[in-house]
Amino acid sequence: MPTNSSTLLARATAGLVAFLTGGCGDSLATGDLVGSYVLRRVGPDALPTVLFSNDYVTSRVLADTLRLSANGSGTRASSQVVQERATGVIDTVQSEAGFRFHVRDGGVEIAFDCPINGDCAAPPHFVGHAISGDLEIDYALGARVPLLYARIPDSH
């Protein structure tokens, strides 16, 4: 059985270790991300701006919102102007897509739902991290990055 002094030393050491490691990095949990986030920037550019461009189309994002729920599901609502390069035809596209998200290695990964019989790219489709309550997406399949989403106050 340990003596009083060795018990006190063990408790003090454990407390010091907890104190020192507690500030080394914030652990992120699914519940910390719950809320709505509105896209503010793509790379260095404010909206509206080019989200992606390839040989066939250029897409300019007008608005984009992520809604994250406590059960790890979410939705993305987006408004984009898409121009076909070959024809010059311009169309405004409104879309809403479901997704699942989870915390991994202190960041967040998002996998968009794939329709039945869809030929979808393997997830994750977005990878990012929380910054002062906002979300910064560092990887977005096919899109310019980073994507900076600002949390809408009182949305959780």
Please write the tens of the pLDDT for every residue from 116-127: 999 999 999 999
Q: What is the pLDDT of residue 156?
A: 66
pLDDT of 5 strictly over 50: no
**Closest by CA position to 62, among listed 76, 50, 44, 75:** 50
Tokens at 70, concatenated: 């406590």
CATH, domain range 27-151: 2.40.128
Tell me the pLDDT tens digit for each residue of 66-115: 999 999 999 999 999 999 999 999 999 999 999 999 999 999 999 999 99
- Hey, where are the domains in the chain? 27-151
Q: What is the pLDDT of residue 54?
A: 96
Q: What is the pLDDT of residue 31?
A: 87
